[in-house]
Amino acid sequence: MSTIENIMTAVELLQTPGLGRCELVHGELIQMTPAGFEHGRIAAEIGGVLRDFVKARALGVVTGAETGFHIGHDPDTVRAPDAAFIRQERVPPTPVRGFFPAAPDLAVEIISPGDRAGEVLAKAKDWLGAGCGAVWVLDPETKTVTVYRGLDRIVVLDPDDTLTGDDVLPGFSLPVGEIFAG
């Protein structure tokens, strides 16, 4: 990841074409390399499972990778998880033409080979601080899912464990091993 030093707003980010994969973190543009194949495969897998569960129960909306969420102001922060869920009662009645103006109820992040532990923790902190109910961090290397319900409520699930939606997605359950099965 590289940082461009100019302070930028969410509006400027939205109006600047050709930047590629990036996030805006406290006014600084963070550019990222494209995700690799395995990362994309896992993102599609978890996104598809979430979409099917949510759609069948009319619970809300699931978004795919690179959907921007405007979660901080002055300076602006726009994060883009690999998948996200927004409860139906929080979905605006008309289409959102820019970034979603708040945190999702659930953010899913998949660790890429170049990610540093501190960067992943910073994302989880940003999501939770903005009001996200849960953050799932999927690690393809260890085949684990770290569930953040708060910075003092962190659980690491192994391939033999089951990931549940708790109160964010009641009734959702998925064996962790299935997420990483290729």
Q: What is the pLDDT of residues 12-56, one digit of tens each?
A: 999 888 888 889 999 999 988 888 899 999 999 999 999 999 999
Total residue count of the chain as it appears in this document: 182
Residue tagged 């501190």 (tokens): 118
Q: Is 1 a residue whose pLDDT tops 50? A: no
Angstrom distance (rounded) from CA 133 to CA 136: 10
Written out in words, the top-level CATH class of the domain with range 35-180 is alpha beta
Per-residue pLDDT tens digits for 79-103? 999 999 999 999 999 999 999 999 9
Q: What is the mean pLDDT of residues 128-140?
A: 97
pLDDT score, position 2? 45
Q: Is 126 a residue whose pLDDT tops 60? A: yes
pLDDT-derived band at 3, boundaries 50, 70, 90: very low
pLDDT score, position 23? 93
pLDDT score, position 118? 86
Q: Is 174 a residue whose pLDDT tops 70? A: yes
